Amino acid sequence: MTSISPEQIQATIDFHGHHCPGLTIGIRAAELCLARVGHNRQAPVTAVVETDMCGVDAIQFLTGCTFGKGNLIHLDHGKMAFRFYRADTNQALRALYQPPAEFAAMKKPAPHEQEKREALCRAIMETPLEALFRVEEIPTPAPRPAVILESLACEHCGEKTMESRTRRFGGRTLCIPCFRQVEQKVL
């Protein structure tokens, strides 16, 4: 059973826009973070997500880690894995979603698809965290904090671009889209 309150779960669903198994996995991963690492209000926490699935919204909503603050980082590895770092204690863990074998039957197409999705959501919420995730402490240091850098004008399109996201080509400073055009000789 989850330690996340029904009100928090409903608020997470409202934030995301619908209830689905992916969001439910994220709720449970966030629960793991809150229990083992803490909330971003307590100490600086960084979440690194290795997926772009629905569960990332739950991580963001429940842990307080956001892309805008620079403490939610997306690595496009296509894995349902979530890393959490706490700066003040140098604590870091990685949680890889590994559902019990019986969940596989719930994912097969069926005439009552919505009922199966709801049953899978309930099963995810009722399964102990240690049966849902393979958790390992990781020695990797936390990603560096977000830095606000100067914005430079792209010398092709004129749009301001964060300095670290510009490229030099032919003696000119270019934004990434313009650099890709020049590099591919499309310009």
Taking the CA atoms of residue 146, residue 14, residue 132 and residue 141 in that order, the dihedral angle to the nearest 10 degrees is 10
Phi, psi at 111, each rounded to 5°? -60, -35
Q: Are strands 160-162 and 151-153 parallel, antiparallel or unpaired?
A: antiparallel
Task: Provide the pLDDT for residue 106.
Answer: 62
Q: Are strands 81-86 and 91-97 parallel, antiparallel or unpaired?
A: antiparallel
Give dist(CA 184, CA 101) in Å, integer. Answer: 47
Give dist(CA 168, CA 142) in Å, integer. Answer: 29
**Model confidence pLDDT, tens digit, residues 139-166:** 877 787 777 889 999 999 999 999 999 9
- Band (pLDDT 50/70/90 cuts) for residue 107 is low
Q: Name the least confident of 50-54, 109-113, 124-128, 166-170.
A: 109-113
- Average pLDDT of the residues of the chain: 90
Q: Are strands 72-74 and 81-86 parallel, antiparallel or unpaired?
A: unpaired
Q: Which residues pair with 152 in a beta bridge?
A: 161
**Model confidence pLDDT, tens digit, residues 123-142:** 999 999 999 999 999 987 77
Residue whose C-alpha is closest to residue 93's, from 134, 61, 41, 62: 134
Mean pLDDT on 33-56: 91
Q: Structural domains in the chain? A: 6-137 (3.30.1330.130), 151-183 (3.30.60.20)
